[in-house]
Chain A
Amino acid sequence: MNFYPIVWKEIMLIRRKPWRFLASSLVMPLLYLVTFGWGLGRGMNVGGGTYLEFVLPGILALSAMNNSFGPVSTSLNISKLYTKTIEEVLVSPVSHWDIALGRTLTGLGRGLFSALMLVLVGLVTRVHVHYSFSFFVVLALTAFCFGAMGVAAAMLAKSHEDMANFNSFFIIPMSFLAGTFFSPDRLPQPFQSMILAYPLTHASIVLRSLAAGNGPALGSVLILAAYTALFFYLAGRLVKRTA
Chain B
Amino acid sequence: MINITNLTRYFGTLAAVNAVSFSVGKGEVFGLLGPNGAGKTTTIRMLTTLLAPSAGTALVAGYDVTVDPLEVRRAIGVVPQMLNLDIDLTCAENLEYHGRLHKMEPADRNARTEELLRFVGLWEKRDTPVEHLSGGMRRRLLIARGLMHRPQVVFMDEPTVGLDPQARRLIWGLLESLRRQGITILLTTHYIEEADALCDRVAIMQTGRIIALDRPSVLKAGVGKYSIECLGRHDIPRQFFPTREEAIDASRGLCEDIVVRESTLEDVFINLTGERIEG
Q: Do the beta carbons of B101 and A92 come within 8 Å of each other?
A: yes
Q: Which residue of A lies closest to B89 (CB)?
A: A12
A91 near B100 with CB under 8 A, answer no
Does B82 sit at the interface, judged by CB under 8 A?
Answer: yes
Contact between chains at A87 and B80 (CB < 8 Å): yes
Tell me whether chain A's interface is mostly helix, strand or loop, or mixed: helix
From A2, A5, A90, A95, B50 is in contact (CB under 8 Å) with A90
Q: B103 interface residue, CB < 8 Å from A?
A: yes
A83 at the interface (CB under 8 A from B): yes
CB-CB nearest in chain A for B71: A93
What string of 1s and 0s marks CB contacts (under 8 Å) between A1-43 and chain B? 0101100110011001100000000000000000000000000
Q: Given the complex of chains A and B, what is the CA–CA distance between A88 and B48 in angstroms?
A: 11
| A158 within 8 Å of B (CB atoms) | no
Bound-state Cα–Cα, A202 to B178, Å: 58
**A88 B88 Cβ-Cβ under 8 A:** no
Q: Give the contacts of B78-105 with A (CB-CB under 8 A).
A: 78, 80, 82, 84-89, 93, 97-98, 100-103
- Could you say which residues of chain A place their CB within 8 Å of the CB of B85? 85
Q: How far is the CA of A208 from the CA of B50 in the complex (A)?
A: 45
Closest chain A residue, CB of each to CB of B69: A243
Query: Is the CB of A94 closer than 8 A to any CB of chain B?
Result: yes
B73 at the interface (CB under 8 A from A): yes
CA gap between A5 and B87 in the complex, in Å = 17
- Chain B residues, CB < 8 A from A88: 78, 84, 97-98, 101, 145
Q: Of all chain B residues, which has the CB nearest A8? A: B100
Is the C-beta of A89 less than 8 angstroms from some C-beta in chain B?
A: yes
How far is the CB of B255 from the nearest CB of chain A, in Å? 48
Which residues in A have their C-beta under 8 angstroms from that of B74? Answer: 93
Chain B residues with CB under 8 A of A8: 97, 100
Per the bound structure, the CA–CA distance linking A143 and B86 in Å amounts to 25
Contact A9 to B89, CB < 8 A, known contacts A90-B50, A94-B101:
yes
Instruction: Name which residue of chain A comes closest to B75, CB basis.
Output: A93
CB distance from B99 to the nearest CB of A (A): 9
Residues in B with CB closer than 8 Å to A2 are: 101, 103
Closest A residue to B81 by CB, please name it: A84
Complex contact A13–B88 (CB within 8 A): yes
Q: For the complex, what is the distance from the CA of A9 to the CA of B101, rounded to whole Å?
A: 10
B102 touching A91 by the CB < 8 A rule?
no
- Which residues from chain A contact B76 at a C-beta distance below 8 Å? 91
Name the residue of chain B whose CB is nearest to the CB of A83.
Answer: B84
Least CB distance from A84 to B in Å reads: 4
A16-B88, A91-B48 given as contacts; is B102 within 8 A of A84 (CB)?
Answer: no
Contact residues of A with B, CB < 8 Å? 2, 4-5, 8-9, 12-13, 16-17, 83-85, 87-95, 243
Ordered by A's residue number, 9 sampled pairs between the chains whose C-beta atoms are within 8 Å are: A13-B88, A16-B89, A85-B85, A87-B84, A90-B50, A91-B49, A92-B73, A93-B74, A94-B101
Going nearest first, the 3 A-B pairs with the smallest beta carbon separation are: A5-B100, A92-B101, A84-B84
Binding site for A on B (CB under 8 A): 48-50, 69-71, 73-74, 76, 78, 80, 82, 84-89, 93, 97-98, 100-103, 129, 145
Q: Known A-B contacts: A91-B76, A93-B103. Give 20 more (CB < 8 A).
A: A5-B100, A5-B101, A13-B86, A13-B88, A13-B89, A16-B89, A83-B84, A83-B87, A85-B84, A88-B78, A88-B84, A88-B97, A89-B101, A91-B50, A92-B73, A93-B71, A93-B101, A93-B102, A95-B70, A243-B50
